[in-house]
Chain A
């Protein structure tokens, strides 16, 4: 029981981080990015590839991956998504366009990744056992959790305390009003999208140290991040953290008590319950 709780909690750290990344992209830039999971897997592939070919520690890869992913996602937003934002007549039309476009991107990324590494991204890094709160887990899980925690805290403080963070939050509340008070909405949106992508890729590199991924697994992570965001409420960081903990613990419980093949079904069960009973999110107010 304790084992389940500890490993579920450790898992939820990276889940929450990835959900924060997607939340920046959806909540601020208003792009439903269904290629998010593929960005995550790209981060994982970088960690795997650099570790197996150059013995580079995944923790160093994280430092490399973040700026690269930031620039990559900025370019995607600037050149592929901005035209869609401009041509869309309504939020609904933008949603359909961005869903289809990011599907396209996700498949292209998968295609490229398969040609680099068609098998599993399997490697051993810091997999020695360690005891946490009387339960045995592996060192890489603990380290990934701690790094996720540090990045998440930094992000939270930046959003709430810095000038640019406030601008990001303002855009997430209302693009029109932000434009009126002199915020460059297009620039803030691009930055939020890029930052979200950077965080996601870092999350991927961290996850790859303790979960073996492959090129086509991205959609599962996209789905989990989306479920966390919907459960927590779009734009609500506190809600996302609690939702990530719920998902992490429930998944770990189902995997260890029933069958590891049913983790996705467990995530769906949570999703259904949220849609039926709290579609506005755990802490969201009932929409009018």
Chain B
């Protein structure tokens, strides 16, 4: 593994009032690595993503990108530093066309473009995800997976150094799911660094180099997917004590 991780999470805790959503989480992500963050519902995975992207500030701990602390930065500065994300429930801009939605990602992101250049680049991103034929369409005419593709294209348009995918495969039907997994595979083959929150275990097994398992806000296991998914502690966290 590389000497310095691209993303490093150290001792991060998040409290909402009296509730501890994430407690003392630590993990690293190396360049070109694909890390899965898994765990039962309510275990704090999305909160963890929100802290990396700057939607929430951690109560405690430190998050660093290439050695530079980002945990105290505002979301827009974290995005500019090179963190791109998709949302658990797709968030597109309904007043803008498909192409404009993607341009939005190219203009203010990590690598910034404007005018013709931004437009061309947005077309490239749409083409990569097989969406360029719908560039002029309004958002309301898209199917769910196409909305997810547009959101992903918008994120890629900012050329982030690290990509956070929050349950990108959730809500897709079996055919769409196969397409979705293929898409993420393609991103992986490009050598992108990705953190993936996911419930679809087949996808996690085939895509991730490494998994971090969360339960009740804390890390309970970390390692290769096959190892981690057969760990009795992890199975207990998913299925409850009785079944273990």
Contacts and interface: CB of A to CB of B under 8 A. Distances in A.
Direct contact of A and B (CB under 8 A): yes
Interface of A: 89, 285, 288
Nearest to A89: B94
A288 B57 CA distance: 7
Contacts of B108: none
Nearest to B56: A288
A285 B19 CA distance: 12
A89 B92 CA distance: 13
Nearest to B59: A288
Nearest to B55: A288
Contacts of B56: 288
Contacts of A288: 14, 16, 56-57
Nearest to B14: A288
Nearest to A90: B94
Interface in B14-56: 14, 16-17, 56
A89 B56 CA distance: 25
Contact of A285 (B14, B17, B57, B94): B17
Nearest to B94: A89
Contacts of B16: 285, 288
Interface of A is mostly: loop
A96 to B, nearest CB: 14
7 contacts: A89-B94, A285-B16, A285-B17, A288-B14, A288-B16, A288-B56, A288-B57
Contacts of A285: 16-17
B122 to A, nearest CB: 25
Contacts of B14: 288
Nearest 4 pairs of A and B residues by beta carbon: A288-B56, A285-B17, A288-B16, A288-B57
B16 to A, nearest CB: 6
Interface in B67-107: 94
A38 B94 CA distance: 36
B150 to A, nearest CB: 18
A164 B117 CA distance: 60
A89 B95 CA distance: 12
B187 to A, nearest CB: 30
Contacts of B94: 89
Contacts of B17: 285
A280 to B, nearest CB: 11
Contacts of B57: 288
A89 B94 CA distance: 11
A239 B57 CA distance: 26
B18 to A, nearest CB: 9
Contacts of A89: 94
A159 B141 CA distance: 45
A89 B93 CA distance: 13
Nearest to A288: B56
A152 to B, nearest CB: 26
A89 B17 CA distance: 29
B13 to A, nearest CB: 13
A288 B16 CA distance: 7
A116 to B, nearest CB: 44
Nearest to B21: A288
A236 to B, nearest CB: 13
A172 to B, nearest CB: 17
B190 to A, nearest CB: 34
A57 B21 CA distance: 57
A86 to B, nearest CB: 18
Nearest to B17: A285
Nearest to B47: A288
Nearest to B57: A288
A89 B16 CA distance: 27
A3 B241 CA distance: 67
A285 B15 CA distance: 11
B214 to A, nearest CB: 18
A285 B14 CA distance: 14
Nearest to B50: A288
Nearest to B16: A288
B72 to A, nearest CB: 15
B41 to A, nearest CB: 16
B31 to A, nearest CB: 30
